[in-house]
Amino acid sequence: MKKKIFMIITVLMLCLLAGGCSVEVQNDPNTQSVYYLYDISADETQLEKVAYNPEETTAEYMLKDMMQQMNQKEDDVERISLLPDDVQMNYSVEGEVLVVNFNSQYTQMSKAREILVRAGVVKTFLQVPGISAVRFTVENQDLTDSKGESVGEMTADTFAEFSGNEPDAYCSTTFTLYFTDKDGQNLVKEQRTVRYRRSIPKERIVLEQLMKGPMEKGHYPTIPENTEILDVTIADRICYVAFDRVFSSYALDVSEKIPVYSVVNTLLDALEADKVQITVGASDKLDIFGQKMSLYRFYEKNDKLVVTE
């Protein structure tokens, strides 16, 4: 046996010296590390994974290299760079916590873009050996949420799955939609089971179903079907939804509370959120819906408007 092993080694050495053959070592694919960077999909609704193969897998190298690559903005037709052009970041390490510091332009992003950026940056850096949490600062001040409270440390459990890597995966969900009765003074419930692509945010799906109008007799629509959803996202258990001005121009003779709470109740029944903020218009946003329904405020679910049929 020893003689046979010696002969094999001798042949391999002769091959290498002669240059006539080579020996390729195959790594077990199950032991190879896989890393990703993140961009934003062209429709700005989800994260897109981009394979990342660092030359070194030390924490020091990966942090510097990831940071440099994310600070370099390269958009294309299929995806958008994670960071907007004028947003830059640097970092420091405090034990197992990575502190990512942004310039002041970070606060100028829309809420939808900000939550995608937040998720992409955190998911990227949590791949670095020894990093178990990420904290954001803006101009060296802690990032705060809509209530003015510090967002704090973020981990792998902070964000739902934002990446759309299962384009053929579908799921079915039964939503409770809130339409209005004949008098337009109360809300009525209607359940609807919808099959949809997992990569599309649930909040967008349920709003689109609401805009399609009711399917049960005696139920009436609350918002126009041709309303456009400009933006919808969830952060800090608050759902932010922006409609175009068609939302406010509906001619149905209903109480002005009905369209607002139709949206609020429908979203809060479907999502893990506590409040909804509605905006109407793009650059020329409305301050009031109807005669006295204030916008730019947080609405909670209103069960008093719901009647039992």
Q: What is the mean pLDDT of residues 286-301?
A: 83
Residue 161 has pLDDT above 90, yes or no: no
Higher pLDDT, 151 or 25: 151
Residue 9 has pLDDT above 60, yes or no: no
Residue 183 has pLDDT above 80, yes or no: yes
Higher pLDDT, 246 or 290: 246
Residue 33 has pLDDT above 70, yes or no: no
Residue 97 has pLDDT above 90, yes or no: yes
Residue 3 has pLDDT above 70, yes or no: no
Phi-psi map region of 266: left, alpha, beta (phi>0 left; psi -120 to 50 alpha): alpha
Residue 168 has pLDDT above 50, yes or no: no
pLDDT-derived band at 77 (thresholds 50, 70, 90) equals low
pLDDT at residue 28 in the model = 40
3-state secondary structure the chain: CHHHHHHHHHHHHHHHHHCCCCCCCCCCHHHCCCEEEEEEECCCCCEEEEEECCCCCCHHHHHHHHHHHHHCCCCCCCEECCCCCCCCEEEEEECCEEEEEECHHHHHCCHHHHHHHHHHHHHHHCCCCCCCEEEEEECCEECECCCCCECCEECCCCCCCCECCCCCCEEEEEEEEEEECCCCCCEEEEEEEEEEECCCCHHHHHHHHHHCCCCCCCCECCCCCCCCEEEEEEECCEEEEEECHHHHCCCCCCCCHHHHHHHHHHHHHHCCCCEEEEEECCCCCCCEECCCEECCCCECCCCCCECCC
Q: For the chain, give the mean pLDDT.
A: 82
Which residues, listed in sequence order, are joined to residue 137 by a DSSP beta bridge? 101, 142
pLDDT at residue 162 in the model = 52
Q: Encode pLDDT of 249-289 as tens digits.
A: 765 677 889 999 999 999 999 999 999 999 888 766 778 88
